[in-house]
Structure 1
Amino acid sequence: MSNDVTASGIHLPTIDQPQRLLNGRLFDFSREVAVMAVINRTPDSFYDRGATFALDASVSAAQQAIADGADWVDIGGAKFAPGPAVPVAEEINRVIPVVEALQGSGAVISVDTFHPEVAFAAIRAGAHVINDTTGVHDPEMARVVAESDATLVITHSLAAPRMPYPSPTYGDVVREVVDFLNERVERAVQHGVPRERLVIDPGHDLNKNTLHSLEMTRRLSEITSLGLPTLVAVSNKDFVGETLNRERGERVEGSLAAMVACILQGARIVRMHNVVQAVDAAHMTEAILGFRQPAYLKHNQ
């Protein structure tokens, strides 16, 4: 894959078909970063510990994130971590009312699920993106998305949904993530999802230890060079906490540093909890890359 060179001299991977129309808004991922807010409608989310489980709390949090500048909102009704299965009907009951409440908000609405039935219901309710953290382990997910106008996020992970995967090992984590994503992209395409409606995510911390996640961050350009828009979910992850010896709630600065490092290597969608800080950091990085003009010019004018 060839590289573009920004005005700053930084080499960035070329994205095939970088312009994506989502919810009536044209994103140009050759020159733009989208901030995706996280809304967990779960009682046991790793970060907020159920703070947005109630419907009114989740809708209010999503509306505030949009007001704070989030471009996308990602709604989840079951966490990735191992645990008891959430019945499909219950997951639908958790996420669909939030999707419906956000209609007309102007934001891109994403639903984080690995169940094709949930994806189908979410798309019917108005979701624009399905975020599958199991990398299309069920081909039916690709078929559901293919029959709609929705975009599909394909994430690297190895375990069966919500099952433990202790002590993951890789010969070369980046190479293996690249190979997995290539294979799952091909699976999605074979089941009818066009490449122009695909996004990839290397899956920081998903069946990976801290050293693996740091290596992926360091070499993210090898993943973004696949030519598809790349989403990174680095916010408040354990690899940040273990690196800095910081507990949950104390990882904002480390998360932003990881986010910026990924943007500089071609990540174009960043899934973040702390929206105000993430939007400012993303906009500043865009300006440094020459993608965005300053809000105003006054200093030494």
Structure 2
Amino acid sequence: MTLPLAGLPQDRCVVMGVVNVTPDSFSDGGRWFDPGAAVEHGLELVRHGADLVDVGGESTRPGALPVDRDEELRRVVPVVRRLADAGVLVSVDTMWSATAEQALEAGAAIVNDVSGGRADERMIPLVAQADVPFVVMHWRAHSPQMQQHTQYDDVLEDVLAELAAQVRAVLDAGVAPERVVVDPGLGFSKTGDQNWTLLAHLRRFAALGHPLLVAASRKGFLGSLLADEHGPRPVMEREDATAAISTISAMAGAWGVRVHDPRRSADAVRVVARLRAEAAHA
């Protein structure tokens, strides 16, 4: 399933590159906190195969503390503007309507809200009025408390039901159905085992009737899987595992994958697209 958005491929899974304009990201330790470095990194992601770039100014890793709204604006908006001016298709990663509004004015084309519009009551009306794609992620709590909310009767059925309910709320508030993207929220109020359960059933999320975004890149459950006698695999050494998840996601019909290093995932989704095209003509 594809989004009606110019500039994105329609014949394969989309690769979304990540630019964290934060000093405390789990994935890159603040390497792109400087706006100039963040812009250059975004351009590099595109050169390495990203179809669009997701810019965020607040870490949402488990336990991360919230960022002052003015500080998030200061971090995000200049980077969005410079990337958009350079011709990059930009998504803004924020839970806050003020940041989303200014980022859209600066040239962002998509709003990626890890709370699915639940953190800020003004977010969904803003997105509906702007008529832009909106990523609705499964979410239960803010970062400091999220891992206190991992209790499910049946993680797959519960996450599907909760995500579907949030999508209904988004649609009821006026967001067009063709603008909604769903994300199962791997790592958000989920244990490692629960993440694997959701990944094993990605087709159920694709069946919700909206494009599916999968964001597993470098996450802790991959580090745990690849652990050795020294402990979990270091964050920067999880790229092959991330590409494997990108392959699985594309095979399951995902619209997009969100990754920190797009080169391997860009190759992976093209392989899947070629295979699917061949199978369609068999």
Superposed, 1:150-169 pairs within 5 Å as 150-160=132-142, 162-166=144-148, 168-169=150-151
Distance in 1 between the 2:191 and 2:154 partners?
13
Other-structure match for 2:247: 260
Other-structure match for 1:117: 98
Residue 203 to residue 291, structure 1, CA distance change in 2 (3 Å): farther
Seq. identity, %: 33
Say if 1:128 and 1:149, in contact at 8 Å, map to a contact too.
Answer: no
Distance in 2 between the 1:179 and 1:88 partners?
31
Distance in 1 between the 2:64 and 2:201 partners?
31
Coordinate RMSD, CA, aligned: 1.8
What secondary structure does 2:277 align onto? Answer: coil
Q: Which amino acid aligns with 2:48?
A: D
Superposed, 1:122-201 pairs within 5 Å as 122-137=103-118, 138-160=120-142, 162-166=144-148, 168-201=150-183
Residue 47 to residue 290, structure 1, CA distance change in 2 (3 Å): same
Other-structure match for 1:297: none
Distance in 2 between the 1:72 and 1:79 partners?
20
1:53 to 2:40 alignment: no
What secondary structure does 1:47 align onto? Answer: coil
1:122-173 CA distances to partner (integer Å, 9 max, x unpaired)?
1111110110001211332110111113211000121135534336121211
Moved over 6 A (4+): none
1:24-75 CA distances to partner (integer Å, 9 max, x unpaired)?
32543xx321100000000000010000000111000001111122101000
- TM-score, length basis structure 1: 0.86
1:194-216 CA distances to partner (integer Å, 9 max, x unpaired)?
01111000011111011000001
Higher strand share: 1
The one of 57, 65, 68 aligned to 2:48: 68
Other-structure match for 1:96: 77
Say if 1:139 and 1:187, in contact at 8 Å, map to a contact too.
Answer: no
Residue 50 to residue 40, structure 1, CA distance change in 2 (3 Å): same
Higher helix share: 2
Superposed, 1:178-257 pairs within 5 Å as 178-245=160-227, 246-257=233-244
Gaps of 5+ in 2: 228-232
Deviation for aligned residue 1:83:
3.0
Distance in 1 between the 2:207 and 2:198 partners?
13
What secondary structure does 2:175 align onto? Answer: coil
Distance in 1 between the 2:102 and 2:3 partners?
26
Gaps of 5+ in 1: 1-14, 293-301
1:240-266 CA distances to partner (integer Å, 9 max, x unpaired)?
111121221111111111121121111
